[in-house]
């Protein structure tokens, strides 16, 4: 999924282990859907089991939970947000860090502005946000990182409003793999649950 301006992109892969049952009658199936409408339906189900089927006659997904059913018509690629697979980008610096080390800094930074700086160097992982009078910094030293790989020190500015929305979906205990370069996209990857499924995000300005 990508936003209309292609500032941010999210790719989520759910392996078979996420499903109670999984059946695909063709080698591959692709469809463009309104994820917000599907999310609204899932929220109404309140954690109950949901059955998802494709109805070829109606060209729609049918979601059923208990006695509740909803049909979602597919969206043509012309009307949806086009997005190819996230490309593999060679980025020179990476860290592995527990999400709880970053989330408070992202949240606090938004009290000063929307665009902040993220840096990786030999000493650790750094977040900075400032306006005309105030500044917030967060420095996570290398001893508090699970892993640190730095070919060169890197610094880039990012939209922290987007990052905050993204981090709201991540558990504080999640291990994040973050790679970035100077004035390049940032790639964040983590496992949703016991490495059964993987979610990755690229955010750029």
162 pLDDT tier (thresholds 50, 70, 90):
confident
Q: Taking the model in full, what pTM does it have?
A: 0.70
In angstroms, how far is the first alpha carbon of the chain from the final one? 17
Q: Distance (Å, rounded) from C-alpha 157 to C-alpha 184? A: 9
Q: Note the pLDDT of residue 128.
A: 96
SS3 category, 142:
helix
SS3 category, 43:
helix
Which two structure tokens, joined as six digits, stand for 108?
């606090």
Sheet arrangement for strand 51-55: 51-55, 60-65, 68-73
Share of the chain above pLDDT 70, in %: 81
| pLDDT for residue 5 is more than 60 | no
Q: Note the pLDDT of residue 107.
A: 93
Q: Distance (Å, rounded) from C-alpha 70 to C-alpha 121? A: 50
Q: Distance (Å, rounded) from C-alpha 149 to C-alpha 45? A: 43
Pairing of strands 68-73, 93-98: unpaired
25 pLDDT tier (thresholds 50, 70, 90):
confident
What does the pLDDT look like over 105-144, one tens digit per residue?
Answer: 999 999 999 999 999 999 999 999 999 999 999 999 999 9
- Sole residue written with tokens 């909803």: 70
| pLDDT for residue 11 is more than 60 | yes
Share of the chain above pLDDT 90, in %: 37
CA neighbours within 13 Å on the CB side: how many for 87?
4
């Amino acid at each position: 999924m990508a936003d209309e301006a292609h500032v941010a992109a999210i790719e989520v892969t759910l392996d078979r282990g996420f499903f109670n049952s999984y059946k695909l009658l063709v080698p591959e199936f692709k469809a463009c859907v309104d994820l917000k409408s599907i999310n609204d339906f899932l929220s109404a189900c309140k954690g109950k089991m949901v059955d998802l089927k494709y109805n070829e006659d109606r060209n729609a997904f049918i979601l059923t939970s208990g006695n509740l059913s909803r049909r979602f018509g597919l969206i043509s690629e012309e009307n949806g947000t086009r997005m190819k697979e996230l490309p593999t980008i060679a980025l020179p610096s990476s860290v592995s860090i527990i999400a709880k080390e970053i989330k408070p800094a992202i949240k606090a930074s938004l009290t000063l502005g929307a665009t902040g700086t993220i840096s990786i160097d030999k000493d650790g992982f750094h977040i900075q946000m400032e306006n005309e009078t105030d500044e917030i910094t967060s420095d996570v030293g290398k001893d508090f990182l699970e892993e640190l790989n730095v070919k060169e020190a890197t610094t880039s500015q990012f939209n922290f409003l987007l990052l905050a929305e993204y981090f709201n979906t991540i558990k504080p205990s999640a291990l994040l793999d973050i790679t970035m370069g100077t004035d390049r996209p940032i790639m964040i990857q983590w496992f949703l649950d016991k490495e059964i499924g993987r979610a990755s995000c690229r955010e750029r300005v």
